[in-house]
């Protein structure tokens, strides 16, 4: 979700893993495909290939905030998964952080994007959102100071 320039897609391809990125930025999709990744332009909330058949989904680098409502995003991601699929979601370091807001991106020349909804959550808050979205937290790991939750659909 939100594959950006495709560094994770490239890593998956190098490991021989099938992967596909979804991003709403034409520039990001162009960069991802230039790296050899499969990426589609669009919103994760729109129809995407292989719905209900995904083995896994990644929400890294702050992308848990896509759409500004973490529970709604996780419900959508859960709807993409196969029955045994998993989500790897990165959380903020502060466990109970749970905020939603309008974000604006600004480049080095001072040009600003239109405001868009975004959210951030720490591990404890993210686990609560996941539970409300029908996902169980089956593992929490900290790697190089980054916190990751592994989520699975409830049977």
Domain residue limits, the chain: 1-49, 54-155
The predicted model gives 59-64 an average pLDDT of 95
Tokens of 23: 């991003």
The predicted model gives 66-70 an average pLDDT of 97
Q: Would you say residue 19 has pLDDT above 90?
A: yes
Instruction: Give the confidence band of 42 by pLDDT, cuts at 50, 70, 90.
Output: very high
Q: Which CATH class, in words, describes the domain spanning 54-155?
A: alpha beta
Q: Would you say residue 154 has pLDDT above 90?
A: no
Give Cα 88 to chain centroid, integer Å.
Answer: 8
The b/e string for 18-40 (b: 16+ C-beta within 10 A; e otherwise) is ebbbbbeeeebbebbbeeebbbe
**pLDDT (0 to 100) of residue 137:** 98
Residue 74: burial class (beta carbons within 10 Å; 0-12, 13-18, 19+): buried
> Which residue is it, tokens 């539970």?
131
**pLDDT (0 to 100) of residue 155:** 79
The predicted model gives 65-93 an average pLDDT of 97
Contact status, residue 140 vs residue 148, Cβ threshold 8 Å? yes
Q: Which helix (H) or strand (E) holds 57?
A: strand 54-59
């Amino acid at each position: 979700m939100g594959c950006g320039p495709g560094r994770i897609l490239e890593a998956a391809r190098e490991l021989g893993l099938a992967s596909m990125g979804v991003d709403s930025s034409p520039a990001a999709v162009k960069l991802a495909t230039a790296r050899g990744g499969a990426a589609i332009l669009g919103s994760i909330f729109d129809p995407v290939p292989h719905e209900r058949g995904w083995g896994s989904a990644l929400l890294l680098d702050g992308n848990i905030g896509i759409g500004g409502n973490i529970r709604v995003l996780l419900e959508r991601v859960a709807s993409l998964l196969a029955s045994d699929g998993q989500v790897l979601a990165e959380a903020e370091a502060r466990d109970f952080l749970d905020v939603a807001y309008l974000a604006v991106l600004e480049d080095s020349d001072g040009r600003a994007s239109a405001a868009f909804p975004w959210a951030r959550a720490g591990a404890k808050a993210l686990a609560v959102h996941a539970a409300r979205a029908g996902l169980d937290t089956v593992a929490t790991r900290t790697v190089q100071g980054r916190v990751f939750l592994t989520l699975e659909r409830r049977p």
